[in-house]
Homo-oligomer: A and B are copies of this chain.
Amino acid sequence: MEESASRSDKKKVVAVVGGGLVGALNACYFAKRGFDVQVFETREDIRKAKIVKGRSINLALSHRGRSALKHVGMEDKIVSKGIPMHARMIHSLSGKQSPIPYGKKGQYILSVDRANLNKELLTEAETYPNTTLNFGRKLQDWNAETGLMTFIRSDGSEEEIQADLIVGCDGAFSAIRKQFLRRSRFNFSQTYIPHGYMELTMPPINGEFAMKPNYLHIWPRNTFMMIALPNLDKTFTCTLFMPFEEFEKITTGDEVIEFFQKYFPDTIPLIGVDALKRDYFRLPGQAMVSVKCTPYHIGDKCVLMGDAAHAVVPFYGQGMNAGFEDCIVFEEIMEQFNEDFSAVLPEYTRVRVPDDHAIADLAMYNYIEMRAHVNSRWFLFRKHVDNFLHAIMPKTIIPLYTMVTFSRIRYHEAVKRWHWQDKVINRGLLFSATGAVLGASYLLAKNPPDITKLTVPVEKLWSRLMALRTP
């Protein structure tokens, strides 16, 4: 009864274009507010399809994503199907494994299955009576002034709909965004990085994980790297990141093994020689793109969210989290401006653009940090200093990773704060070092030591200092 009553008083129609992660979650948000929500997805229902092609298999869910899921009561369900990862596990060339915690004790990110998460979100969206999921609908045309949209159904027939608000959640190659590009004064950039990625599977051994499961495993090798995330079925998904020309250099199974022997020898028995030789050639290296644009809206009719507005490279594990946070930020502004789209949309652009641009830049920065800096002792030393300072001054010094991953501090503010902290800490270290040298000089002057006995410790100290500097 409630349904028919609400349908009759002409609720505003929100057309969500794209039924991926952000589209499906957004459907829940708009449905919760009582709009008539229509989701249009080009593909068929992934809950019925056998194989989901394309995107990577698992994702790292952290605080921002969880907060967004919580708002629609989905957090616990999703978290229960995720695998906590408390630390990075760095694999050196010699096979040595060293953990670097992500944050304080009890802080972790979650490895979640993309396809399962998407399915759960679609099912949740459908529980709202004011939501309809329309699959197999390809966007043909739409009018940013009137909100009239035309879709082509899988059978070739046309379908028209009049939307009050069009929400473009159709990913990095957004069809909705194309019309933004045709308008004047729309700033846009798409940047492909020189690296591609390739996914390989590490099967369970005797029914158990082949490596410690509660870690995000990293093999940093400077110009390239491999990472591995655990799955519920006790496999690991290994992702190899490498410049395209390096991928192309390897053309035979033997060359694959030779390459792994040289750079990732510890993974060969775990992935398996035959699997490696076969799976390396299943698909070529996949491209990764970073997309930035502004504004995110046209008038009071259309808004971009998720990858359609800001695709990021995957190296900060924030792509999905930023997209999910878009939903809360929009929700907060809807509340603030009483659902008046003509005020909400410009405000969303004003508030969200600097944050999305900041996380896009951070992800690009981490693209270097993850594969190179984690090999540097200075970097590791600074991580320890940051964590120590955070422990004794939890509100003054917060490591960047913690701000990004375990808080909802606005991304662009996290970056600002990081630059400030870095300056302060580096100065502090310089002063401490100077103080230590002065103190030592003073003590030495007061009690001149027996030089012969000093030789060894000084040499040791020197070599340690030098070692700290080398990458």
Contact = CB atoms under 8 A, between A and B. Distances in A.
16 contacts: A181-B190, A184-B192, A184-B287, A185-B192, A185-B287, A186-B190, A186-B192, A187-B190, A187-B191, A187-B192, A188-B188, A188-B189, A188-B190, A189-B189, A189-B190, A189-B191
Nearest to A188: B190
A187 B184 CA distance: 20
Interface string A284-310: 000100000000000000000000000
Contacts of A181: 190
Contacts of A185: 192, 287
Interface of A: 181, 184-192, 287
A29 to B, nearest CB: 31
Nearest to A288: B185
Nearest to A190: B188
Given A184-B287, A185-B192, A188-B190, 4 more contacts: A181-B190, A185-B287, A187-B192, A188-B189
A181 B188 CA distance: 12
Return the 10 tightest CB-CB contacts between A and B, nearest first.
Answer: A189-B189, A185-B192, A184-B287, A187-B191, A188-B190, A185-B287, A187-B192, A187-B190, A188-B189, A184-B192
Nearest to A182: B173
Contacts of A186: 190, 192
Contacts of A191: 187, 189
A248 B320 CA distance: 39
A201 to B, nearest CB: 25
A165 B191 CA distance: 27
A3 B458 CA distance: 86
A155 to B, nearest CB: 26
A326 to B, nearest CB: 22
A91 B185 CA distance: 31
Contacts of A190: 181, 186-189
Contacts of A187: 190-192
Contacts of A189: 188-191
A468 to B, nearest CB: 30
A191 B185 CA distance: 8
Contacts of A192: 184-187
Nearest to A290: B187
A241 to B, nearest CB: 15
A191 B191 CA distance: 14
Contacts of A184: 192, 287
Nearest to A184: B287
A287 B191 CA distance: 24
A181 B185 CA distance: 18
A244 to B, nearest CB: 8
A103 B186 CA distance: 37
Nearest to A196: B185
A188 B188 CA distance: 8
A187 B292 CA distance: 12
A190 B188 CA distance: 5
A436 to B, nearest CB: 33
A184 B189 CA distance: 14
Contacts of A188: 188-190
A349 to B, nearest CB: 14
A304 to B, nearest CB: 16
A186 B289 CA distance: 10
A188 B291 CA distance: 10
A158 to B, nearest CB: 22
A192 B181 CA distance: 12
Nearest to A192: B185
A458 to B, nearest CB: 36
Contacts of A287: 184-185
A391 to B, nearest CB: 42
A57 to B, nearest CB: 21
A174 to B, nearest CB: 12
Tell which of A181, A185, A188, A191 has the most Cβ of chain B within 10 Å. A185
A287 B184 CA distance: 7
A284 to B, nearest CB: 11
A247 to B, nearest CB: 13
A190 B184 CA distance: 10
A68 to B, nearest CB: 29
A189 B289 CA distance: 13
A119 to B, nearest CB: 28
A431 B83 CA distance: 62
